[in-house]
């Protein structure tokens, strides 16, 4: 009996210790480990009256205050004075796509690049090689204050770069990101690329407004990724793919609108690890209207939002502490009708195009988070010059 009591005391102690380890900010406790799930307390702690709060409907404004910050298109420069508001937030990247550039498919070439010209998915049906999915920069454009990524079947695609690779017939789409990939070498008929980050950030608040394509066989995504995500040795701390949303649920939309969030770290091979959540929603995300998707990435956890309501929170992988770049992609099934999260998305019909439209992207940083960012590889501020690489180095690091 006495031994059972001792074991019980030890078990309780271990739970408390584990909770304390999970709920820290740069090594210091950041909130009460015994309050709800911890992340909700971040919002409740800011509220004056919490008696009638529905914790299933916590809003972005319950967690952070972005008032007194302009929504105008803006790119922060390290030489400038930070436009900090009362809670320590300041803008780092705001693009309303209200300026169309003559190069780079209309995107600002200082921060954006179109996804590389290459095959994305080979056809899953040998008898239908035209089901292969290719990425092409010509499928990206800026028009009427929107960044548009087209997706569709072309039987005589005449892009000069694609044609040089032999890509003339198939399903063509694309994406854009704050990273530029350039061919570094060719081996066994396959191109190798160097990954040059144009803009990156660790922690902060990220928000975008998207209109989905309403067509079978499609899924689009807004995600963050880093050059070190494929390395192992520090779990997700030195790099995590953060899928703010993946739209793979149109086929089930008549029953219940859903959306997926996910984290991936340690690469995509045998060492790869994942965590994800598929949430049920009240609204229809495929109603032809724009919907908001956001990520609050703190030193303690990731909190995801859809149309301003918190939908998931996690600290899986240990929370990334290095800068990552932004990606917007619009993809087509490769003939099997399957998408991410093990979802059936249906077969893409070749009778028309399916566009993903991005209304804006807004990114903010908080001065209180800056001290938690891991040092860069050369000890200097993160920038294009050091390719936003961190100091993390492990004997187990490898690309897989």
The HSE-up count of residue 142 (CA atoms within 13 Å, CB side) is: 22
Closest CA to 355 of 80, 142, 166, 206: 142
- Residue for token pair 């770049």: 325
Q: What is the pLDDT of residue 112?
A: 98
How far apart are the C-alpha atoms of 293 and 317, rounded to whole Å?
Answer: 22
The HSE-up count of residue 215 (CA atoms within 13 Å, CB side) is: 22
Find residue 318's DSSP bridge partners.
none
35-60 pLDDT per residue, tens: 456 788 888 888 877 778 888 889 99
Q: What is the pLDDT of residue 294?
A: 98
Q: What is the pLDDT of residue 4?
A: 41
How far apart are the C-alpha atoms of 315 and 300, rounded to whole Å?
Answer: 7
101-111 pLDDT per residue, tens: 999 999 999 99
Q: What is the pLDDT of residue 3?
A: 45
- First-last CA distance in the chain: 52
How far apart are the C-alpha atoms of 212 and 219, rounded to whole Å?
Answer: 8
Q: What is the pLDDT of residue 397?
A: 60
Q: Pick out the chain residues at pLDDT < 50.
A: 1-24, 27-35, 399-400
Cβ neighbours around 399 below 10 Å, total = 12
3-state DSSP helix/strand/coil % of the chain, to nearest 5 = 15, 35, 50
Q: What is the pLDDT of residue 32?
A: 36
Which phi and psi angles does 87 have, rounded to 5°?
A: -100, 10
SS3 (DSSP) at 81: coil
Q: What is the pLDDT of residue 270?
A: 86
Q: Tell me whether residue 216 is exposed, middle or buried, using C-beta atoms within 10 angstroms of its C-beta: 0 to 12, 13 to 18, 19 or more.
A: middle
Q: What is the pLDDT of residue 343?
A: 84
Q: What is the pLDDT of residue 18?
A: 32
* Entry pTM: 0.89
């Amino acid at each position: 009996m006495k031994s059972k009591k001792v074991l019980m005391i030890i078990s309780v102690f271990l739970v408390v210790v584990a909770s304390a380890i999970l709920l820290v900010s740069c090594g210091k406790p950041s909130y009460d480990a015994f309050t709800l799930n911890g992340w909700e307390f971040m919002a409740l702690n800011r509220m004056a009256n919490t008696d009638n709060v529905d914790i299933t409907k916590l809003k972005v404004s319950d967690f952070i205050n972005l008032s007194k910050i302009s929504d105008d298109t803006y790119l922060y420069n390290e030489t400038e004075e930070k436009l900090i508001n009362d809670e320590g937030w300041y803008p780092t990247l705001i693009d309303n796509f209200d300026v169309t550039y003559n190069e780079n498919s209309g995107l600002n070439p200082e921060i954006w690049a179109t996804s590389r010209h290459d095959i994305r998915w080979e056809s899953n049906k040998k008898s239908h090689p035209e089901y292969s999915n290719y990425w092409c920069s010509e499928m990206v454009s800026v028009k009427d204050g929107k960044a548009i990524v087209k997706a569709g079947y072309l039987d005589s695609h005449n892009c000069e770069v694609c044609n040089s690779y032999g890509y003339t017939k198939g399903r063509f789409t694309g994406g854009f990101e704050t990273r530029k990939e350039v061919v570094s070498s060719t081996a066994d008929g396959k191109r190798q690329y160097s990954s040059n980050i144009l803009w990156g950030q660790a922690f902060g608040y990220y928000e975008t407004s998207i209109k989905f394509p309403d067509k079978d066989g499609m899924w689009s995504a807004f995600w963050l990724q880093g050059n070190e995500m494929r390395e192992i040795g520090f779990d997700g701390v030195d790099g995590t793919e953060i899928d703010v949303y993946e739209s793979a649920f149109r086929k089930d939309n008549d029953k219940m609108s859903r959306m997926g969030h996910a984290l991936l770290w340690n690469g995509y091979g045998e060492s790869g690890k994942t965590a994800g959540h598929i949430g049920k929603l009240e609204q229809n995300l495929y109603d032809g209207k724009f919907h908001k998707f956001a990520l609050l990435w703190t030193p303690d956890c990731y909190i995801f939002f859809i149309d301003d309501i918190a939908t998931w929170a996690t600290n899986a992988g240990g929370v990334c502490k290095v800068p990552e770049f932004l990606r917007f992609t619009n993809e087509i099934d490769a003939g099997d009708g399957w998408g991410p999260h093990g979802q059936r998305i249906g077969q893409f019909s070749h009778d028309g195009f399916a566009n993903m439209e991005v209304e804006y992207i807004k990114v903010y940083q908080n001065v209180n988070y800056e001290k938690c960012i891991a040092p860069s590889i050369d000890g200097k501020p993160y920038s294009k010059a050091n390719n936003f690489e961190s100091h993390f180095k492990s004997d187990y690091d490898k690309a897989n």
